[in-house]
Structure 1
Amino acid sequence: MTSPLLRSVARPLLATVAAVAGLLAASCTAPRAIVATGKVTPQGEFRVGYNQGLNLASAPIAKATGALKEAASQAASSSKVDYTDATTQLQAAALAYVLDPVQTTADINVRYGIVPHLDAGFKYTFGSYVFDTQYQFLGPVGTPENPDRGAATGTMYGSIGLQFATQRAKLPSFAFLSDINSVLNLRATRNDLLIPLIFSNSLGPEEEIGAISYGLVYAHSWVSYGFAPDKIYSGSVKVPELPLQRRNFSSFGGFLNLKIGYRYFYVIPAVSVFYQNYGDFALLNNQSTSLSGVTFVPSIGVQLRIPKFTN
């Protein structure tokens, strides 16, 4: 038998764990928060981290009007939906959320120093799988325990990265988006390529205390999508499904982050900003829409450095 005291403590704890698990399960956006510095992982070392952030995009926010939410609710509860301008707007909103959702993001990541100047890593974002590598072209490659000659506070590092993410895209589990999807039956997949150019200034020799990092980012996304509704009509004729469409678009941005800690453990607040013209997208009933917008990606993470052990 469990004591009343134990049950009173366990219940809220389990509720908290369930809430966190639900939040992370919804976080399927490919990570665009840049938390790396210009210094890559030294050869033979590991870095393990966790990041929590927010993808705040202007395009879906602009579409999420009260009138649209009401139209989505009415369409979801109807057995037959007449194609109107509201139906076009529902599709545009669904695409905006798939292309750049407003939602929390989270990832667990690990990096390893392969050779001097080059490391590689893997991120799992609870729905998206991410592989990346980073090449350091500027600055020393020592460690806090064995710094290279000239390494000190203010030393500049520079690197360029390459990140590839793949995922099955879906609408976040918001009430009105669930209504939209019940009407449109959206299916989508996407792949994302991200190339950050990173510069940083060390705090302490070889980032012993941390670093201030900044730079530019280019990203490119490939999206496949289609709609397969079963109750939308134009007059007396059922609107046929939209077969799989393929589109791609570029994003341009910049970032700033601060890595602060000591030798083995660091906290990393960061912010990235992107602009993208998503382009033109075909819709049902021979309609189309154009989308563009700005995205802010604030985040905070923790990083554990596991140094190379030598005899």
Structure 2
Amino acid sequence: MKIPFSLRSSRRLASIFAATALLATSCTAPRAIVATGKVTPQGEFRLGYNQGFNFATAPLNKAGSALKEAASKAASKDTVRYNGAVNSLQAAALAYILDPIQPTADLSIRYGLAPRLDAGYKYAFGSHVIDAQYQLLGPTGSPESPGAGAVSGTTYASIGLQFATQRAKLPSLPFLSDINSVLNFRASRNDLLVPLIFSQSFGPEEEIGAISYGVVYAHSWLKYSFAPDNVYVSPTQKVSALSDQSRDFSSFGGFLNLKLGYRYFYVIPAVSIFYQNYGEYALLNGASTSIKGITLVPSLGFQLRIPTK
């Protein structure tokens, strides 16, 4: 049967509305790659701020089957009968925690520990991140004191390691709050990110910036639970809580960024893209859901270089 255009349009609008409800700032591990192949010179500091947006297809897809009206009706009832809608609400909650659609921001500080090694800390407004980067290729000087062979166009390469930890939660928005009031959802996660970065310098030792590109491997560990108080599988039997479940998954991606400025201050537009098959996740009452998707992370960063010599 052919679906009338107006009905198809309203369903599409409902899906967009539900997905838009997910647009909230909350803690998430930063995945924008704004580093170049050259590490912070030994003894120097770099301060940074990065503002981005995490656009993921997984919650967008799941939101279409877990509309605001369904969550609102369930939250307003004293008892909720377990059915497919409850499964959809669980899937939407998981998809959001796995890969939210939301703005992202982080503050960072880095320090050059050795000629080819630096380390840093990022605060992503709820997510705490530590990372290090080792330079594999290219000179190790500074714009004031260029290393041997440092000219415009010099190629640099490095490998990084980033670890983030956070207590994940659904934000206080009507749609997501309704889901949480029905399901009593709890989650925490840890994320490991390993970027391989190549860059070409603009000016000696990136004096006026660089163009960078590369590939990224990421691995995440998630622990979650559902403990609803008023969901029933029969008029007299409550659904059993789903105690702590542990899952992990890998992500693969690539990135491109442009560093532009002069010596002490730089602007860094960047974009990263990831693919992840999150795998199968247990739900209440023996049900399960599978989740996968693509994530696009555009960002704009600002970096201040603080020479110590």
Q: How far did 1:308 drift?
A: 1.8
Partner Cα separation in structure 2 for residue 65 and residue 27 of structure 1 = 22
Q: Distance in 1 between matches of 2:192 and 2:300?
A: 22
Q: Is the 8 A contact 1:27 1:106 kept in 2?
A: no
Matched-pair contact (CA < 8 Å) for 2:80–2:230: yes
Asked whether the equivalents of residues 65 and 88 of structure 2 are also in contact (C-alpha less than 8 Å), the reply is no
SS state at 2:151 partner: coil
In the alignment, structure 1 residue 103 sits paired with structure 2 residue 70: no
2:301: which partner in 1? Answer: 301
Unaligned segments of structure 2, at least 5 residues:
1-23
Shift of 1:64: 1.6
Q: Counterpart of 1:277 in structure 2: which amino acid?
A: N
Q: Cα 1:36–1:188, aligned 2, differ >3 Å: closer, same or farther?
A: same
For the 8 Å contact 1:224–1:247, the answer to whether it is kept is: yes
**After superposition, where does 1:111-130 map in structure 2 within 5 Å?**
111-130=110-129
Aligned counterparts, 1:202-213, within 5 A:
202-213=201-212
Which stretches in structure 1 are left out of the alignment for 5+ residues? 1-24
CA distance in 2, matches of 1:196, 1:143: 23
Q: What pairs up with 1:231-310 in 2 under 5 angstroms? A: 231-236=230-235, 237-309=237-309
- 1:20 is matched with which residue? none
Q: How many residues align?
A: 285
Does the 8 Å CA contact 1:251/1:277 hold for their aligned counterparts? yes
Instruction: Say if 2:225 is the partner of 1:218.
Output: no
**Shift of residue 27, structure 1, vs aligned partner:** 3.1
Q: Which residue of 2 aligns with 1:9?
A: none
2:11 maps to none
Please tell me the root mean square deviation across aligned C-alpha atoms, in Å: 1.0
Letter in 1 for 2:204: P
Letter of the aligned partner of 1:222 in structure 2? W
Letter in 2 for 1:144: P
Q: Does the C-alpha gap of structure 1 residues 98 and 274 become closer, same or farther in structure 2, counting only changes over 3 Å? A: same
Cα offset for 1:69? 1.8
8 A Cα contact 2:163 2:192, kept in partner: yes
* Residue 197 (structure 2) aligns with: 198
Task: Using the TM superposition, give the Cα deviation of residue 68 of structure 1 relative to its aligned residue in structure 2, in angstroms.
Answer: 2.2
Further displaced range: 26-35 or 290-299? 26-35
Output the CA distance in 2 between the equivalents of 1:85 and 1:102. Answer: 24
1:224-258 deviations in Å (ceiling 9; x for gaps) = 00001001000121001100000000000000000
- Cα-to-partner distance string for 1:144-180 (whole Å, 9 max, x where unaligned): 0000121111100000000000000111333211110
Q: 1 CA distance for matches of 2:171 and 2:54?
A: 12
Give per-residue Cα distances to partners, 1:89-143, cap 9 Å, x unaligned. Answer: 1000000000001111000000000001000000001100000000001000000
Q: Give 1:67 deviation, angstroms.
A: 5.6
Partner of 2:119, secondary structure, is: strand
1:133 aligned counterpart, secondary structure? strand
Contact 1:103–1:172 (Cα < 8 Å) also in 2: no
Q: Within 5 Å, which residues of 2 pair with 1:1-311?
A: 26-65=25-64, 68-236=67-235, 237-309=237-309
1:138 counterpart letter in structure 2: L
Q: How high is the sequence identity, in percent, across the aligned residues? A: 72
d(CA) in 2 for partners of 1:95, 1:260: 38
Pair 252,67 (structure 1): closer, same or farther in 2 beyond 3 Å:
closer
